[in-house]
A = this chain, B = another copy of it.
Amino acid sequence: MSTKKLRRYTKQRRLVHDAIINRTDHPTAKEIFNELKPSGIGIATVYRQLAAMVEDGILATVDYDSETRYDPLTSPHAHIVCSVCNRISDIELPRDVNDLAPENLGFEVNEIELTWKGICNNCQ
């Protein structure tokens, strides 16, 4: 059924992959583009490759401040966002959060999105 789409191993695919795969700071497409600019890559390609990686389950997306950010951590987890430095950090999802699912409404849960907003240690 869900056969993974065949991807060509282009130079650009490797560039984007290597630029994001070990990041924990949830960069935007623009940020990745700026870092890869010296290679001559086009910004549309950066958007395309990031979208492809999301489609392939290699990246997750985090929407924040009207921008899509990318996260190589795809297993379920929560985020904490500092409203001062705008840093987004991954954090363990509370185990009991699954027990809190709204099953009573007959809602079939596929995904949980949990974000704590506030001020981080550094910015206080």
Contacts and interface: CB of A to CB of B under 8 A. Distances in A.
Nearest to A83: B110
Contacts of A109: 116-118
A91 B102 contact: yes
B112 A115 contact: yes
As for how many copies of this chain the complex holds, the number is 2
A111 B107 contact: no
Interface string A94-124: 1011001110011111111111111111001
Contacts of A107: 80, 82, 116, 118-121
Nearest to A117: B111
Contacts of A18: none
A35 interface: no
Interface in A58-108: 63, 66, 80, 82-83, 91, 94, 96-97, 100-102, 105-108
Nearest to A82: B107
Contacts of A94: 97, 100
Interface in A22-70: 63, 66
B110 A113 contact: no
